[in-house]
Amino acid sequence: MKVVNHRLESESVVHLQTPNCDQRPDGEDISLLVIHNITLPPGEFGGTFVQDFFMNQLDYEAHPFFKEIQSLKVSSHLFIRREGELIQFSGFDQRAWHAGLSSFGHRTNCNDFSIGIELEGTDDHPYTDQQYEVLKQVTLCLQKAYPRITKDRIVGHQDIAPGRKTDPGPSFDWDRYLNGINA
């Protein structure tokens, strides 16, 4: 796996193009990695609802919860499903809409300079071995392509939006994930 033209290249990566992204203010400023979690409906794994949501193709009649998110336009760069399937929704040179109101260090609007990775999961349900393995591989690949993403610039959504977000939550094993990640 490697990054070519701001996209992951590997036979195992599914490439889609979300409309929920735009141009970064400075395409060379990629320096933060944000880990998230998502399930749709909340707490339910599988299906295509997350993919449909990021592509603005979600059937809002399919579940009562979907009415609550109908007005949202969000995405991430990558989505790692429970079994390790990897979907890329936008190029890394694009600003995916994953962080919302956020700050890291002295900077706000983390979408401007970050890459967002969504894990299919919840704050309180353990992530799978396959997800940790794919996440590690992807992280090392991203660090090679974007060397400003150092270990201390890998955060959870809760770190950049405290009080507003809680993901990836206490079920995410940071030590397991960061073991072997480049400093």
- Residue in the block written with tokens 């449909």: 52
Q: Which of 9, 11, 44, 118 is catalytic?
A: 118
- Distance CA(18)–CA(87), nearest Å, equals 11
Q: Where are the beta strands (DSSP E) in the chain?
A: 2-4, 7-9, 13-15, 21-23, 32-38, 78-80, 86-88, 94-96, 103-104, 107-108, 114-120, 154-156
The three-class DSSP label of residue 78 is: strand
Is 118 one of the catalytic residues?
yes
The catalytic residue positions are: 118
